[in-house]
Amino acid sequence: MNDIIVAILRSGTPLIYVTMAGVVAQRAGIWNLGLEGLMIIGACAAIVGIVLTGSFALAMLIAIILCVLASVLLWFVIEKLKANPIIAGLGLTGLGLGGTSLAVQAIFGSQAAVTAPFGVPKLGPAFGPFGVLSIFVLAMPFAVFAMWVLLRRTRFGLRLAASGEHPFAARSVGANPSRMRLAALIIGGVLCAIGGAELAAGSLQIYAQNMTAGRGFMAFAAVIFGAAHPIGSAFAALFFSVVGALGIRAQLLFGDAVPHDLLLALPYIATVFGVWLSGKLRGGRKAATGFAELRDY
C-alpha cells in the first residue's frame, strides 16, 4: 500500500505545483497553456543546473529565474501586445520544448538524457517508507494551503480575482488588472519551476527530452476541473495522478493482458472526463475562449 501512495505522491506533486500556477493565472483571467513549456524549462534547468553548478540551491535559483522570465514574456505578449492567450501559451510551450532540447544539445553536444548526481533533498529515514520522497512533496500541502489563503482570504486575492472576473471593477477601485496578471504569472513561474524540478529531480534525477509528456496540459485541465479553486484543483490533479498510478499498478498485475499504451492513456481519458463533468456541473455554460482574434467582444 505504501508504495502506491509513494507512487501517487511522486507523480502527483509536480502536477499539483503546476496546477497551482494555472489556478493563479486563471483567477487573474489568463488561460495559461504555457504551463507545459514552463514545466519543461523548470525540469531541464534543475537537472542541468545541478550538473553544471553542483549545488541544488543554485540550480533551483536558475530554474526559478528562467521560468519567471518566460512567464514575464508570456505576460508581455498577452497584455502588452494583446495576443491570444491560448495561442501564445502554446507558443511558449513550443519555445520551452524546443529551447530545452537546443540548450541540452548546445551544452552536452547531444540530445541524450542528462543524469544528475543528486536531486531534490529527500525527507530521510525519519519518515519511514516515505523517506524516499523529496522535501517538495512534504511542502506541497502547505503550498496548496498558502495558495488558498492568498487567493481566497486576502485583499490581494480579491483584487486578483476581480482582475480576472471584472477588470473594470478592479480598475475602478484603483487596482491595475494588467499588473495583477503580471504578479499572477510570476507566482506561477516560481511554482512551475518547483513542479518541473520535482518532476525531473524529485526521484529519478534525470532529464529527458519532452519528459513532461503533456503534464502541463493536464494541470491546466485540473484547473478547469477544479473551477480554479486551489483545493478543488489540487484534488483534480491528484485524481489524474491516482488514475495514472493505478494504471501502472494494473499493468504490473495483469502483465501483457492489457496493452501498455492503453494504460498510459488513462490519465488523458480521466482528464477529458473531468473537464466534461465540470462543464456538465456548471450547466453547459462555457467561458468565452473562442478565437479572440476574430471575436468581437
Binding range to another protein, per CB under 8 A, among 12-20, 102-110, 121-129, 130-138: 102-110
* CA–CA gap between residue 37 and residue 69 (Å, rounded): 12
289 by Cβ neighbours in 10 Å (0-12 / 13-18 / 19+) ranks as exposed
Residue 201 CB, nearest approach to another protein (Å): 22
Query: Between 130 and 273, whose beta carbon lies closer to another protein?
Result: 273
**Which run of H or E residues covers position 266?**
helix 266-281
Residue 111 CB, nearest approach to another protein (Å): 7
Residue 132 CB, nearest approach to another protein (Å): 29
Site for another protein in 227-256 (CB under 8 A): none
In sequence order, what are the residues at sequence separation of 6 or more whose Cβ sits closer than 8 angstroms to the Cβ of residue 158? Answer: none
Cα 205–chain centre separation: 18
Query: Between 87 and 138, whose beta carbon lies closer to another protein?
Result: 87
Site for another protein in 62-101 (CB under 8 A): 73-74, 77, 80-84, 86-88, 90-95, 97-99, 101
Residue 60 CB, nearest approach to another protein (Å): 20
Asked if 51 touches another protein (CB under 8 A), the answer is no
Please report, as a single letter, which amino acid is at residue 199.
L
Asked if 106 touches another protein (CB under 8 A), the answer is yes
125 by Cβ neighbours in 10 Å (0-12 / 13-18 / 19+) ranks as exposed
Asked if 217 touches another protein (CB under 8 A), the answer is yes
* CA–CA gap between residue 114 and residue 180 (Å, rounded): 37
- What's the start-to-end Cα distance of the chain, in Å? 52
Phi (first) and psi of residue 206, to 5 degrees: -140, 140
Binding range to another protein, per CB under 8 A, among 200-208, 212-220, 231-239, 243-251: 212-220
Binding range to another protein, per CB under 8 A, among 13-21, 132-140, 181-189, 281-289: 281-289
Contact by Cβ (8 Å): 122, 133: yes
Residue 84 CB, nearest approach to another protein (Å): 4
Site for another protein in 254-273 (CB under 8 A): 259, 261-262, 264-265, 268-269, 271-272
Contact by Cβ (8 Å): 202, 13: yes
Residue 131 CB, nearest approach to another protein (Å): 33
3-state secondary structure (DSSP) of residue 35: helix
Query: Between 116 and 221, whose beta carbon lies closer to another protein?
Result: 221
CB-CB neighbours of 113 under 10 Å: 14
Number of residues lying near another protein (CB under 8 A): 80
Pick one of 53, 55, 111, 115: the residue that binds another protein (CB under 8 A): 111
Residue 46 CB, nearest approach to another protein (Å): 18
Please report, as a single letter, which amino acid is at residue 143.
A
Pairing of strands 114-115, 206-207: antiparallel
Contact by Cβ (8 Å): 191, 21: yes
For residues 153 to 192, the per-residue mask of contacts with another protein, x marking binding by CB under 8 A and - elsewhere, is xxxx-xx-xx--xx-xxxxxxx------------------
Residue 145 CB, nearest approach to another protein (Å): 13
